[in-house]
Structure formats: C-alpha cells, structure tokens
Amino acid sequence: MPIPNRAGLDPPRGGDPVDRPPVSLWRHWPVDDQRGDELARASLTFQQTYDFDFIKVTPNSNFAIAGYGADSSWLGNLEGTREWGTRVIQTPDDWLNLKPLDPHQGLLGEIIEANRLIGQAVDKETPFIQTIFNPLAQAKNLAGPRLLSHLRQYPEAVQTGLATLTETILRFIEALKPTGAAGIFLAVQHASYNLLTEAEYSQLCAPLDRQILVATEGMWLSLIHLHGENVMFDLVAGYPAQVINWHDVETPPSLSEAFQRTTKTLCGGLRQWETIVRGTPEQVKAEAQAAIAATGGRRFILGTGCVTPIVAPTGNILAARQAVDL
C-alpha cells in the first residue's frame, strides 16, 4: 500500500488533499523491547499484519535511563510498561552526578540496532519514527514522586540534570539518523495543567523540547505526544514539529477545536481503552469516521490518543486500519 500523499503531513503544504487519511497504531513489546533484534522483529511483524502508514518504534521508557542504573521489570501491565525499582535520584545532589551516555552502548545501543534492522527491512514507502521520552519524562522515571518537589525546591540542580539528559538525547538522535529513521515521536508527559503551570513548563523544559526538535532537522517527521489530561496544547502547537497527538477524545481540545487552533497535522480520534480494547470493530470504525468528519480528513492521522494496549483485540486494530478506506 503506498503512503498517502506526504504533503498531507508536511507543512507548509499540510492542508493539501490526500487520497485518504493516514493511519497508524503502535504498542509496547514487553520483554522483546530489551533486545534490538527482538524489538525489530516484533515491530516488523505488527506492520506486516496491519499495513499502517508509518511505524512507530516503541521501546519501553527504561531504554533511555537504564544506562544511569535505573532498575525496572515487566510485571504484566496491560499497556506493556515496566515497574520501577529503587529510583536513581534520591537526593538533590544526585542530579549533579548524571553524565551523558554513549548512544551505542547498553540498551540505547540495542534500540539503535532495532532501528537499523527495521531500516534494512522496510521499503522507502514505509517510514519509521523512534520514540524519544523528553528530559522531564526521563527525570520522572529517575526520581519518581520526588521530581516535582525537587523542581520547586532545588531548581538549579534539576536543571543541571535535565541538561545532561538532553545531551544524551541529542547524541542518540545523531546515532539514529544513519539508520534511516524518518523522525521522532517526542513523548511529553508534564505539559499538563494538572502537574505544572505553563510558566513552570515554559521555563524548565520547553527550551529543551525545542532543542531536541531542532536536532531532527533534515528528518521527515517530528510527532509530539502530549500525555495525560488538561494538556498545554497551545504551548506545544508552536513547536517546530509537524504533528500533535493527544488524548483528544478524553481531554480538551477536541479534534474540531484543535483544527481551528493550529495548522499542524493532528493525530488521534480513537480511545485506547473504551474503543480499541472494549469496543467492537463497528464501534472502532464509527469513532474513526467521526474523527475524519471533525477534520474533513485534512491534516489528520487516525490513531489512538496513547499507546494501544497489548490486550487490544486484533479485529479492532484491523478495523482501525480499514476505517480510512471506507
């Protein structure tokens, strides 16, 4: 299946007509995501089964911080995520002790290898993008519930740690480019009014997000994922990226509202649990058609607001793929 006209994803021509809306779903691969060859195999098998318009390479979040000594294990979480052991960051001084990691070593190196193997296996009409957890998301996994108190009590120490995490991300992106990856999926977890004020996020992490996105210059696609509720949509709408993904059916803005507030391409339309897991193929297609109608099928990619749970029925995933052909 050829990819729909890429002009539909690529501003400044992002409103151009496409033959149909693109669609892509993605999921975690617990246990398999700890080895590059197994993550590549799982990702490619998923793509061969459903024929999505792009592949999102989705390792677990531990890939970014295992090199700092972070301990985690998969205990059966239905989204495929891991549980954390003792946190690396215990005291404010621990932020100062972080050092940039080599992207070719350890689990970072395994994920680079996964991308290399995927790049060798797919044709040029099937782009793949790599998940990047932004510095504050990585900091949360390093510090756990201490993060927000440290942010407010010891901002300079945390900012030093965030700068180190950013440097590792930038090194990882440079190592990623030769694999043929088309871009990145930047996971942003704290641009939520439930967690921080807009002023706090703008000062602490927005400049680092932008630095990461600028580093992808020359790549085809940067997709921003806003995680959680009450997200700072307008703040990230100004980022140098092509696509925004958020839990649009469950938290503002709706697709129709967002379509009026940005010229970027929007990705979403499907509820990960209520529809993709607990719904029927008919309900999946109905929700997809409502999302397409809300955007007129322009500047739109059909997807879930977040990762597809690993227990999602295969018939529902297939229905999402088929929905854009109706």
Per residue in 98-150, pLDDT tens? 999 999 999 999 999 999 999 999 998 999 999 999 999 999 999 999 999 99
Q: What are phi and psi of 244, to 5 degrees?
A: -120, 135
Q: Determine how β-strand 128-133 pairs with β-strand 55-57.
A: parallel
pLDDT at 7 over 80: no
pLDDT at 1 over 60: no
pLDDT at 13 over 50: no
Q: Is the dihedral of CA 128, 23, 320, 306 positive or negative?
A: positive
Give the span between the Cα atoms of 1 and 4, in whole angstroms: 9
Please choose, from the candidates 216, 146, 149, 225, the residue with its C-alpha nearest in 3D space to the C-alpha of residue 186.
225
Q: Which amino acid is at 280?
A: T
308: DSSP letter = P
86: DSSP letter = S
Q: What are phi and psi of 105, to 5 degrees?
A: -110, 155
Taking a C-beta distance cutoff of 8 angstroms, is the pair 162, 103 a contact? no
pLDDT at 4: 44
152-190 per-position pLDDT tens digit = 999 999 999 999 999 999 999 999 999 999 999 999 999
pLDDT level of residue 18 (50, 70, 90 thresholds): confident
34-77 per-position pLDDT tens digit = 999 999 999 999 999 999 999 999 999 999 999 999 999 999 99
Using CB atoms within 10 A of its CB, is residue 59 exposed (0-12), middle (13-18) or buried (19+)?
Answer: buried
307-316 per-position pLDDT tens digit = 999 999 999 9
pLDDT at 11 over 90: no
226-274 per-position pLDDT tens digit = 999 999 999 999 999 999 999 999 999 999 999 999 999 999 999 999 9
Residues in Cβ contact with 158 at an 8 Å cutoff, skipping those fewer than 6 apart: 92, 95, 139, 147, 150, 151, 204
Stretch 73-92: mean pLDDT: 98
pLDDT at 5: 42
Taking a C-beta distance cutoff of 8 angstroms, is the pair 75, 83 a contact? yes
